[in-house]
Structure 1
Amino acid sequence: MDNNTNQPTPQNIMQIGTAFWPSKVLLTAVKFELFTLLASQKSMTGAEIKKALSFQATDRHVYDFLDLLTGLGFLIRDGIWDTAKYSNSVDTDTFLDKNKPSYIGGILEMANDRLFRFWADLDEALLSGKPQNELKHSGKSMFEELYSDSARLKQFIHAMSGISVGNFMALANQFDFSPYKTLCDVGGAAGVLSIQVAKHNPHMSCTTLDLPAVETIAKETIAAQGMSDKVKTGSVDFFTDEFPKADVITMGMILHDWDLENKKMLIKKAYNALPEGGAFIAVEAIIDDERKKNVFGLSMSLNMLIEFGVAFDFTGADFESWVKEAGFKKVTIMPLAGPASAAIAIK
């Protein structure tokens, strides 16, 4: 009999308790655009990287940084110490090179510049129930702060695009758009969802809607993807405007930004804009109904506490109850990329 079966071990406790160490290492590498640099040079020595990035730390600590990135699977190393040549892994070369359209580092840039520090106050958020972001420090909400600074707004928009592009690609391929002709993406940010649906479903006429300051960013993104003739833009204010009529209404990472009252308001506006048989699709990190498996979704819900205080992520069962209350007849949950799903309601 194995006496070690089910014996307690501190391994998971220590791994999770110190997880901010490797997290900050990756976020710092993204901040310094290390992976973009290596993509352009193919491979570099530690000394070359130190010079290129103007590091003033000792050689040993620079090697600690690079070798930890290697141990975590983000870099490939040939040799050791002074003889080592570092290059990107397949994943970092694909997703963390700023010069590639597959770049998803925007969310990591925002995690480093904003969320890392705000999450240090999770304890205060739980005690107070109040946001721990810009609102706490300046008296202005996150969105007020973002919209007052065009550079930060663009970073936020691209961060949302980076975290969602895989989900939108999966939706565009997995959902049957053949019965429909028009799509309106409400809160469409850079227009990535509409771009992906139009690319993979040429018969669809897609429109992405957001506030005027964001519409400018969407136009740039759509043009850069060569999709200006396929995807249109427009402006909308959730709280004052009704949604335009469309066969499909989508919202990508929108519902979780709001409290229950506003979630239901947005769902009802989507219902009113759809024809019979029309589809409302919410792409979110849908939490499993048992609230045990989707750790990312639960973490994102705590992030909504940090950001807004009253906002939260939700389960498929939650979504079904809200949309059926609004009048929708049929609900399905379609798994997408990683921890995300499409919650689909048919009118």
Structure 2
Amino acid sequence: MRDGIDASVTAEPLLQMAADFYRWRTVLFAIELDLFTVLGAEPATEPAVRQRFGLDERGTRHFLDALVSSGLLDRTDGRYAPTPLAARFLDSRTASHLGRFLGQADARWARIGEGLRSGAPQNGARATSGLFTGQHRDQAAWRAYYGGMDALNGPSGAALAQVFDWSSVKRVTDVGGARGNVCAELVRAHPHLQATVFDLPPVQAVFDEHMVELGLEGRVGFRAGDFFTDPLPASDAVVFGHVLHDWGVEERRILARKAFQALEPGGVALVYDTMIDAELRSRPNSLLISLNMMLCTPGGSEYTPAEGGTWFTEAGFDTVESVPLVNDDVLLIARRSPA
């Protein structure tokens, strides 16, 4: 070590971060071109791609082969076509298309400096009231946003169906449950459940079409309402999945109280988010997602299991425990006393 510098430390981690950034920008440009949709309709050679999109010969082959090495294109006999991953999530003809969602995220994060200096969201959300309706004014916008949410919530819903004992639950409400992906996982795994999504009125159209796609129309109900101004449906279990982190602490306390009021004695509130580990604060995904909430909401952030537990005990819940769910998600299980 010389002058306080450890000569054994290499720049490799930083260079890998840079390489990940290069890959991300390459994928975003392909999304901007709608490349995966075009090649999904008809695989094409590199010269045909150049002609179709007006690209120069110098970089196009490397561009396409970089997408192959990233697992998004297949190359067979010189023709490029989307892999199953890209076909499902990056073809704009599909309901699960994530292109708009990823583009919006990139635009937010380009303004992280402004966000950290001001503490204000960088996506036009300026007030808690109307946070979602202000950003998503038509069905296409709702579909794009919830397509991204489905991709994030899919593993969590499947895990929730297994981690918690559902045998004593009859009625479950997923508050802010969007297109119903979590409820779909629950009723598939536990057919006895009467599942309902509670979300804003404009969401019902994309919920209905998604249930048809999943072959579950009639199996999951939809109740339209605003969870800050309307009562939640009477339930044995209430789920808040990636919901509390959208809001400030006072709003979280309100939602905890509303869950308590909606539950029968002995009922349970199930809350999962990408929570921060209180002591080490070392989970990079949790901390980065918390920054993302700063960039897209007026008061949102991640929180620790202990902080979440406090809001629910204050609301009247008898006990709160936390268990790992999947990836970096943590599940809080808040139980209302049976009597």
Distance in 2 between the 1:85 and 1:258 partners? 47
Equivalent residues in 2 for 1:237-316 (5 A)?
Answer: 237-316=226-305
Deviation at 1:337, TM superposition (A): 3.5
Q: Report the counterpart of residue 191 of structure 2 in structure 1.
A: 202
Which residue of the partner structure matches residue 111 of structure 2? Answer: 121
For the pair 1:164 / 2:153, whether they are aligned, the reply is yes
* Contact residue 125 and residue 135 of structure 2 kept, 8 A: no
Within 2, Cα distance between the matches of 1:205 and 1:254?
21
Q: Return the letter of the residue paired with 1:122.
A: I
Instruction: Mark the CA change 1:174 to 1:37 in structure 2 (over 3 Å): closer, same or farther.
Output: farther
Question: Does the 8 Å CA contact 1:246/1:274 hold for their aligned counterparts?
Answer: yes
Picking from 100, 111, 116, the partner of 2:102 is: 111
Does structure 1 conserve the Cα–Cα contact (< 8 Å) formed by 2:176 and 2:197?
yes
**Match of residue 78 from structure 2:** 84
The 8 Å contact of residues 166 and 337 in structure 1, kept in 2 or not, is answered as yes
Distance 1:57 1:48, change over 3 A: closer
Equivalent runs, 1:135-174 vs 2, <5 Å: 135=125, 143-174=132-163
| Cα separation, 2, equivalents of 1:177 and 1:37 | 44
SS in 2 for 1:143: coil
In structure 2, the residue matched to 1:225 is 214
User: Deviation string for 1:155-190 (max 9, x for gaps)?
Assistant: 112221222122112212332211111101111111
> Shift of residue 340 of structure 1?
2.4
Residue matched to 2:26: 25
Aligned to 2:73: 75
| Cα pair 1:147 1:213 within 8 Å, conserved | no
Write out per-residue CA displacement over residues 174-219 of structure 1, whole angstroms, 9 at most, x where no aligned residue.
3221111110111111111111111111000001111111122212
Give 3-state SS (helix, strand or coil) of 2:239's partner.
strand
Structure 1, 200-209 or 336-345: larger mean CA deviation: 336-345
Give unpaired runs (5+ residues) of structure 2.
1-5
Partner AA of 1:187 in structure 2: G
Higher mean C-alpha displacement, 220-229 vs 262-271? 220-229
For the residues of structure 2 that align with 1:168 and 1:307, how far apart are their CA atoms?
23
**1:200/1:28 Cα in 2 relative to 1: closer, same or farther (>3 Å)?**
farther
Partner of 2:308: helix, strand, or coil? helix
CA spacing shift, 1:216–1:149, aligned 2, 3 Å: closer
Q: CA deviation at 1:28?
A: 3.2
Which of 167, 176, 199 is the equivalent residue of 1:178?
Answer: 167
Alignment length (residue pairs): 330
Cα RMSD of the aligned pairs, angstroms, is 2.8
Task: State the 1:39 CA deviation.
Answer: 5.2
Shift of 1:328: 2.1
Cα offsets for 1:52-104 (capped at 9, x unmatched): xx3111123221211222233333445xxxx6344545644565556778x4x
The ranges of structure 1 where at least 4 consecutive aligned residues each deviate by more than 6 angstroms after the TM superposition are 98-101
Taking the aligned partners of 1:276 and 1:48, their CA distance within structure 2 comes to: 65
**CA gap 1:98/1:125 in 2 versus in 1, 3 angstroms:** closer
Tell me the equivalent position of 1:56. 54
Aligned 8 A contact 1:284 1:340 in 2? yes
Q: Normalised by the size of structure 2, how large is the TM-score? A: 0.86
- Whole-Å separation in 2 of the counterparts to 1:48 and 1:283: 47
The offset of 1:24, in angstroms, is 2.1
SS at match of 1:148: coil
Larger deviation, residues 153-162 vs 141-150? 141-150
- Amino acid aligned to 1:47: P
Gaps of 5+ in 1: none
**What displacement does 1:40 show?**
5.6
